Amino acid sequence: MFKKVLVTGGAGFIGSHTVDLLLEQGCHVVVLDSLEPQVHGNSGKPPAYLSTQAEFIRGDVRDRDLLLRALKGCDAVIHDAAQVGVAQSQYQIFRYTAENVVGTATLLDVLTTEKTGVERLLVASSMSIYGEGQYRRSSDGALVTANLRNPSDMEAGRFGVFDPETGEELLPIPTPEEKPLHCTSIYALNKKDQEEYALLAGEVHGLSTVACRYFNVYGPRQSLSNPYTGVAAIFSSRIKNGNRPLIYEDGEQSRDFIQVRDLAAAKVFLLNNPKAGGRAYNLCTGRPTTVRRIAEYLAELLGRPDLQPEITGGFRAGDIRHCIGDPSRLAALGWKASITLEDGLAELVEWSSGQDAVDAVDKAHQELVDRGLIKK
């Protein structure tokens, strides 16, 4: 058990739930967060949900002097601070890379050159670094690693992933950590860099480091006014404002949705497990759900079953078709997700009833269209 933990990005959706669990375990928690306006608005104050028991420092993880102050007396770090948004990263390349990659490099430089006393580092990675998930050919059972889909197929409404040799549509299966990585967005490349920098620096300098590959996280405290956050929050915001959820392709693309309290529990489990160091872990459920089903179910829970999703048939540059996590590596250490999708979405809806939600999806969609990042 660690005594004092720094959580970068700890005022955010995922970070704050992690902070709560650490406090419950008796840790002294320091939160370093820049309070990004796209997520937190312009008040400059930490969100009301952030526990006052945590020591809060506002600032940028690239500020070396501030980092040294925040790290004083800490024996562990959970690094969640990052700009998040696959689509937005495609046209804000400098901003994302500067804050994500340079921010992580600054933290690692401090941890490896200063006498901080930190013994364990957890870095937030992402399922996006896989690109397409793992696939299997139905004809002979062979594993196939798929890259980007053919735009001409998608323009014709063929959104599946097809085998380059046989032409058959491939079957998605759970994706293990060993799958070759194939980034399809700037955000994914940022997360891959963050993960690899951290694991390499940890190995070279004897710092026990764990990379946590988050799958699709949802739940209370996720911004309902940020059009680049997770689909569950985006759909909730659309429905609360009387608008139909906007879905690209045909809605049958599938993801692995993990509730934020499960994800936070997995992180704290890995933090405290001495056997976890030096590896990457999928933080997932292993259960696939289509994007269309998420939209339909949220409309039911929010009492607006009439607001059925608007299936655009268009597609975004860099989007993948399927990615479901294989939870076996983490399960072998003794942890499994326990919150069902039904219970998790019900909790999200209950929390959202008391929240303001600004629907900025149409504006974000138009920005992607104007930049040529949405095709039809």
Out of 96, 130, 187, 214, pick the active-site residue.
187
Residue 280 pairs in a beta bridge with 211
| Residue in 76, 68, 102, 357 with CA at minimum distance from that of residue 209 | 76
Beta-carbon count within 10 A of 152 CB? 8
Phi-psi region of 242 (alpha: psi -120 to 50; beta: other; left: phi over 0): left
**Active-site residue flag, 187:** yes
- Distance between CA atoms of residues 276 and 6, nearest Å: 19
3-class SS of residue 254: strand
- Please, what is the end-to-end C-alpha distance for the chain in angstroms? 52
User: Which of 299, 295, 289, 301 is CA-nearest to residue 346?
Assistant: 301
Distance CA 51, CA 11 (A): 9
CA dist 116 and 2 (Å) reads 14
Contacts of 323 (CB under 8 A, 6+ apart): 127, 130, 132, 133, 172, 175, 215, 254, 255, 256
Cβ-based neighbours of 63, under 8 Å, separated by 6 or more: 106
Catalytic residues: 187
